[in-house]
Amino acid sequence: MIKAAVFDLDHTLFDRYATIKILVPQLRKHFELGDGITDEYFIQELSYADKNFVHKGWKGIYNHLVSKGIFKTAPSFEEYTEIVLRHFKHIAVKFDFAESTLKNIKSAGYKVGLITNGDAQLQYKKLGMLGLTESFDEIIVSGETPYEKPDKRIFLMMADKMGISPDEILYIGDHPLNDIEGSRSAGMIPVWVKTTGTWIYPEIEKPELQVDTVAEIPELLSEINGI
């Protein structure tokens, strides 16, 4: 029987594509863009790059933007990353259904957790902007631990904090390696959220459980537990 649902943050509860629409006009203030580059085109290419390359890291996103002539004079990867992260500290958009979904799961008697990779200060600030900090029974940010996803030990830490066996926990996330394979290796039951729609790890088996958004998780829990 499933007793808890643990979530990833980005592309799972945090709507990066909606955030990108707000981010791009801010980036225009820092970077000199190529001739004829509109905000709409920048948003289109940044969203495409995020969807197709984010699971391998930010360098692929940066390289795509450079190849598309987004910048008149390309910044260094380090400069690009520093500026984007600076603005991510002030911009965050959650999926409309995120808060209500988490409340529904908790009200049904399940424990709810979050495991996210990243700098602790940034991730907690993001949670605050999203209004989700109080939605979880337990939160683990990799920056506060010696581990990060996909290391199974960070998932086992969550199981220990909750006092629940890993095989009684659903782990919900979008990243094939960090979320699906990582949680699976710890003995949790992985659920792939198909937010990006891309599975770029052919060597990793797709999980049996898949959803388009986390809004489907309460019903999935009911089906699994026969409620």
- Series of mean pLDDT values for 10-residue runs along the chain (227 residues): 96 92 94 95 95 90 97 96 89 92 97 95 90 96 97 98 98 97 98 92 96 97 92
pLDDT at res. 11: 87
pLDDT at 219: 97
Residues 129 and 192 in one domain: yes
What pLDDT shows up at residue 85? 87
Clarify whether residues 35 and 8 are in a common domain: no
Place of tokens 């190849």: 67
Three-state SS across 2-51? CCEEEECCECCCECHHHHHHHHHHHHHCCCCECCCCCHHHHHHHHHHHHH
Residues 66 and 125 in one domain: no
Strand pairing partners for 7? 114, 172
Instruction: Give the pLDDT score at 89.
Output: 82
Burial of 197 (0-12, 13-18, 19+ CB in 10 A): exposed
Q: Which amino acid is at 41?
A: Y
> Which domain range does residue 119 map to?
4-15+93-225
Q: How many domains does the chain divide into?
A: 2
Domain C-terminal end among 33, 62, 88: 88
Residues 219 and 175 in one domain: yes
